[in-house]
């Protein structure tokens, strides 16, 4: 890997971390407005900013089949885009909904393959 490629990779990670910080600020405001408690974790996963909210009663923020979660993810992406001027591909998970779904689909795929 050349020095230029290393700098480019560091720059990309810094941009994604900035997206995560902006998104976390937006989501903290949302949690305050709705008077819900939750801990926000920020990371970079698969070349995307990744945010996870864990805590008490967050089922209302997920919805029946994750439809509220999908909407919140889009609103958060728009908040990041408004702030940075660039389209965001961030992923939002609340209460482990997406990670649990991914795990169950992976297990099903493995069972089907056997």
CA distances to 65, 80, 104 from 73, in Å? 14, 11, 21
**For residue 111, what pLDDT is reported?**
87
The answer to whether 92 and 76 are in contact (CB under 8 A) is yes
Q: Specify the pLDDT at position 97.
A: 94
CATH for 50: 3.30.300.20
pLDDT number for residue 6: 64
Which of 81, 53, 55, 82 is closest to 69 using CA atoms?
53
Domain interval for residue 81: 3-113
**In this structure, which long-range contacts are made by residues 31-39, counting pairs with CB atoms below 8 Å and at least 24 apart in sequence?**
34/60, 34/61, 36/60, 36/61, 38/94
Alpha-carbon distance of 2 to 44, in angstroms, equals 22
Sheet with strand 48-54: strands edge to edge: 39-45, 48-54, 91-94
Binned average pLDDT, 10 residues per bin, the chain of 114 residues: 69 92 97 94 94 91 94 98 95 94 88 86
Largest CA distance in the chain: 49
The total number of structural domains in the chain stands at 1
């Amino acid at each position: 890997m050349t020095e230029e490629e290393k700098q480019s990779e560091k720059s990309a990670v810094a941009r994604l971390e900035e997206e995560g910080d902006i998104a976390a600020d937006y989501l903290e405001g949302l949690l305050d407005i709705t008077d819900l408690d939750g801990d926000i974790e920020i990371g970079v996963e698969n070349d995307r900013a990744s945010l996870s909210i864990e805590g008490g009663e967050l089922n209302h923020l997920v919805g029946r089949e994750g439809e509220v979660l999908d909407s919140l993810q889009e609103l958060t992406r728009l908040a990041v885009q408004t702030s940075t001027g660039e389209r965001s591909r961030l992923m939002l998970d609340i209460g482990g909904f997406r990670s649990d779904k991914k795990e169950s689909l992976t297990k099903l795929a493995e069972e089907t393959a056997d």
